[in-house]
């Protein structure tokens, strides 16, 4: 029946919400998925960014056409790279639109994502359509210690959801039974500056929840495919400034001891961390396997681009330590 509804041809006159009888049983099989099933898609084509040189030089240009005519192709590449580094006015990066779709994220994940106010959002609304047999995230630590209890709780909540609707209750009331690990999808619309900011903030294993880190690294992988110069500007092993700064104050959670890329700035500080090493916390070893595979994918993509476009290394050098720095 559900497949027939999904395949039915769209009719503008159809009701957007159709209430139907749901299965109230507590012995159903829950559709569990791992946290790693999160999916990130950039929906729009990134526009041609060859206009960036004239935009960032508008302050000094007396004649735009004359300026554009004066640039060699190599000049233009360096202007663009330096702009992506964030070394010119922020208006430049804000001029590049981006719309992202996130899938298989949890209701809990959305509470973190919405904090990025530079984006606008469109989302699936649990109060406006029936949620039935949708995937539920199964945290790795649950599999290790309380799978039976978790499964029972999920089945009871789904049964309560069905009973409320079958009893004549509203979707708005029934959705209060949905667990925080229920999955949903979300659209984020912003610009390149907001996307880079999201990645830099959420790509932090020692402060951010693992699900946030997964969204960030997937977005990093996809964004670098669209704008390959970003391979040489964003890095998964960049020291995490927020983690480093908060670890030296008395007003921070201080979950984990520093990973290698964060260790040097914290040398000499006597810090009492809550959990110790990240990999020693229950459930994290499996996450690290997934994480390391994604990091390897990003590195492999970067290596392939560099091999096919060796001139990029000279551009990076010029814009980092040369005259274009």
pLDDT tens digit sequence for 109-164: 999 999 999 999 999 999 999 999 999 999 999 999 999 999 999 999 999 999 99
Residue 91 vs residues 56, 83, 100, 117, 318: alpha-carbon distances, Å: 8, 10, 20, 17, 23
Token pair, residue 239, equals 């020291």
Q: Where are the domains of the chain?
A: 22-47+96-235+283-320, 239-278
Return the pLDDT at 7.
Answer: 64
**Residues contacting 93, CB < 8 A, separation 6+:** 83, 84, 86, 191, 192, 193, 196
Token pair, residue 240, equals 């995490």
Locus of tokens 């079958």: 166
Are 207 and 240 in contact by the 8 Å Cβ rule? The answer is yes
Query: 18-60, pLDDT tens digit by residue?
Result: 889 999 999 989 999 999 999 999 999 998 999 999 999 999 9
* Angle 294-296-298 from CA coordinates, rounded to 5°: 70
pTM comes to 0.94
Return the pLDDT at 2.
Answer: 47
Mean pLDDT for the chain overall: 94
Longest dimension (CA), the chain: 74
Token pair, residue 104, equals 């298989």
Are 179 and 95 in contact by the 8 Å Cβ rule? The answer is no
Locus of tokens 């990240």: 278
Positive or negative, the CA dihedral 18, 21, 26, 29 is negative
133 conformational bin, left if phi > 0, alpha if psi -120 to 50, beta if neither:
left
Positive or negative, the CA dihedral 159, 187, 223, 265 is negative
Return the pLDDT at 6.
Answer: 54
* Angle 240-244-250 from CA coordinates, rounded to 5°: 145
Query: Could you give the CA distance from residue 321 to residue 325 in angstroms, rounded to a whole number?
Result: 6
Residue 105 vs residues 69, 113, 184, 211, 219: alpha-carbon distances, Å: 48, 10, 6, 8, 13
Return the pLDDT at 1.
Answer: 41
- The CATH T-level fold of domain 22-47+96-235+283-320 is Gyrase A; domain 2 (3.30.1360)
Are 21 and 166 in contact by the 8 Å Cβ rule? The answer is yes
Query: Could you give the CA distance from residue 193 to residue 122 in angstroms, rounded to a whole number?
Result: 19
Closest by alpha carbon to 140, among 303, 23, 291, 321? 291
Are 172 and 127 in contact by the 8 Å Cβ rule? The answer is yes
**Residues contacting 279, CB < 8 A, separation 6+:** 285, 288
Q: Phi and psi (nearest 5°) for 95?
A: -80, -5
- The least confident of 105-114, 234-243, 305-314 is 234-243
């Amino acid at each position: 029946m559900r497949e027939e509804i999904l395949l039915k041809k769209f009719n503008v006159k159809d009701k957007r919400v159709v209430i139907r009888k749901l299965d109230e049983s507590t012995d159903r099989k829950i559709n569990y998925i791992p946290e790693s099933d999160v999916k990130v898609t950039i929906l729009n084509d990134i526009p041609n960014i060859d206009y960036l040189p004239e935009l960032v030089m508008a302050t000094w240009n007396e004649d735009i056409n004359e300026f554009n005519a004066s640039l060699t192709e190599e000049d233009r590449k360096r202007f663009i790279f330096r702009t992506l580094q964030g070394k010119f006015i922020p208006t430049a990066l804000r001029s590049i639109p981006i719309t992202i779709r996130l899938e298989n994220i949890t209701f809990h994940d959305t509470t973190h994502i919405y904090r990025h106010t530079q984006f606008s959002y469109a989302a699936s609304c649990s109060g406006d359509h029936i949620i039935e047999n949708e995937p539920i995230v199964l945290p790795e630590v649950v599999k290790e210690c309380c799978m039976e209890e978790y499964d029972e709780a999920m089945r009871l909540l789904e049964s309560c959801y069905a009973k409320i609707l079958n009893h004549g209750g509203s979707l708005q009331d029934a959705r209060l039974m949905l667990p925080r690990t229920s999955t949903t999808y979300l659209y984020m619309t912003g610009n390149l500056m907001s996307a880079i900011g999201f990645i830099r903030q959420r790509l932090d294993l020692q402060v951010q929840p693992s699900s946030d880190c997964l969204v960030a690294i997937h977005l990093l992988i996809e964004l670098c495919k669209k704008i390959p110069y970003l391979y040489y500007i964003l890095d998964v092993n960049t020291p995490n400034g927020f983690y480093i700064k908060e670890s030296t104050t008395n007003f921070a959670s201080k979950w984990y001891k520093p990973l290698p890329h964060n260790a040097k700035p914290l040398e000499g500080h006597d810090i009492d961390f809550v959990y110790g090493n990240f990999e020693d916390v229950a459930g994290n070893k499996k996450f690290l396997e997934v994480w390391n595979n994604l990091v390897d994918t990003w590195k492999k993509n970067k290596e392939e681009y560099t091999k096919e476009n060796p001139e990029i290394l000279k551009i990076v050098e010029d814009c980092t330590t040369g005259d274009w720095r």
